[in-house]
Each structure stands twice: as C-alpha cells, then as structure tokens.
Amino acid sequence: MSGSDKTSKTTGRLYLVPTPIGNLTDITLRAVETLKNADIVCAEDTRRARILFERYDIRCKPYSYRDQNAARMAAKIVDWVRDGRTVAIISDAGTPGISDPGYRAAKAVIDADLPLEVLPCPTAIAPALVLSGLGVDRFAFEGYLPVKKGKQTRLRELALEPRTMILYEAPHRLVATLSDLNEYLGGDRLAAVARELTKIHEEIIRRPLCQLHQHFSTSPPKGEIVIVVEGLVAYTKRIKKKIE
C-alpha cells in the first residue's frame, strides 16, 4: 500500500484481499501489508483468519462477514468507507467475490461510487485447470452447481458447453455431483478431481467421469474440491478420432 493510500482518510477504500488456498506461505507481501494497514478487516471465517493473522503478526480483530450477514455488513462497509476508513475483506481461502459473499460488499461499494481495489488473486481455478491435463486455451468457471432449483437446467447446459469446465464442490456432495455429471455429460467424458491443492495431502485424480464416480463412492473425499471436465468440442474430437 502506498503512503498516499495509507494517509488518505477523506475517501476511504475497500480492498478485496486474496488469501492462500492452502499453504499459508503463498500469501503475497502486498496482501500482508494491506491487512496490517487496514482499519477494519472482515473475514468469512474469523477462526481461520486468526490463524493467518497469528502467522504474519496481523494484529486487528476480524469482523465476521459471511452469507448470513452479508447484506447488513455490506451496508456497514459502505458507511465505513464513506467515513474515510480502510476496509479489507478476506474469504476462507482464495479471492473474495468468487463463489463467496465478498461480491455483495464489492457491488455495494461500486454502487455507492466509492473506491474499490482488488489485489492479485490466489485461486484454486488455475492450478486445478493446469493439473487436470485437459484443454486450457478456453475454459468456463461454473462455481458451485445449484443444490436443487435449476440444477437439471444447468446440467443440460453443461452437456453442450464447448469449453473445459471448472466447478467447485463440497466433499459431502462430490459423489452425487459426479453421478449427475456422469448422467448428463456422459460417463466417458474425461475429468479430474483436484483435492486439497497446495496442502500436504494434495491429490489429483484424472479419469473418465464414470470411473471418478466409482472411485469416490468407495473412497469418500475430504477437504476442498475442484472438478475439471472436458468440454464438448474436445470430447467430440476425441471420440471421432477414436472411431477413425
């Protein structure tokens, strides 16, 4: 953070600060400096935030900012920034605003015509994509699939998606999601499941969807999950080549 950023208290500013997806040493120097200089830090999980803060001697007490209170906290963050305070938001891991409530505060600050800054992004998307061995030239990030309403519609859309697809999933829903992908996209569609990226127990399993479903049905997963699935264009080319 520059000196002018630190001393300018007339406008305030909201920073979205990415945090490591696993290995705590993956945080940037700028992220640590921003968190140390912030007047207020809001965290999706204050317990996990304290672990990070202790590691890097960040002394502020984090405010809770999660799905359940995001609307109320977003309004409060706008007031803080308008009053000239420097506010930082961190998520559980990765970049605030990507598949988490950080986007609500960002939009509220934008709508209020107040300063917003996003630091460069640690994210599970890029390493999972590259490690999958599937096409990286064009890809679509789908986040979490709907749990109920709209799920079948989304799956039908994914079956026709030409690009490599990246999805997030909770470990307790992985088997059900692989079953759905197997049904709608085809069991011979190539895919990869990346688990616990950057951590001690990092694991990448690359197999057709039907085999991934069988594997995790008998070996329930733990930890953070990213699913990468072959797009329709690559799948069609591969099947056509196989036939020829």
pLDDT of 188-209, one tens digit each?
A: 999 999 999 999 999 999 999 9
Q: Report the 3 state secondary structure along the chain.
A: CCHHHHHCCCCCEEEECCECCCCHHHCCHHHHHHHHHCCEEEECCHHHHHHHHHHCCCCCCCEECCHHHHHHHHHHHHHHHHCCCEEEEECCCECCCCCCCHHHHHHHHHHCCCCEEECCCCCCHHHHHHHHCCCCCCEEEEECCCCCCCHHHHHHHHHCCCCEEEEEECHHHHHHHHHHHHHHHCCCCEEEEEECCCCCCCEEEEEEHHHHHHHHHHCCCCCCEEEEECCHHHHHHHHHHHHC
pLDDT of residue 188: 96
Domain ranges of the chain: 3-118, 125-243
| pTM exceeding 0.85 | no
Task: Please identify, in words, the CATH class of the domain defined by 3-118.
Answer: alpha beta
pLDDT of 168-188, one tens digit each?
A: 999 999 999 999 999 999 999
Q: What is the CATH superfamily name and number for domain 125-243? A: Tetrapyrrole methylase, C-terminal domain (3.30.950.10)
pLDDT of 135-158, one tens digit each?
A: 899 999 999 999 888 999 999 999
pLDDT of 9-58, one tens digit each?
A: 467 999 999 999 989 999 999 999 999 999 999 999 999 999 999 999 99
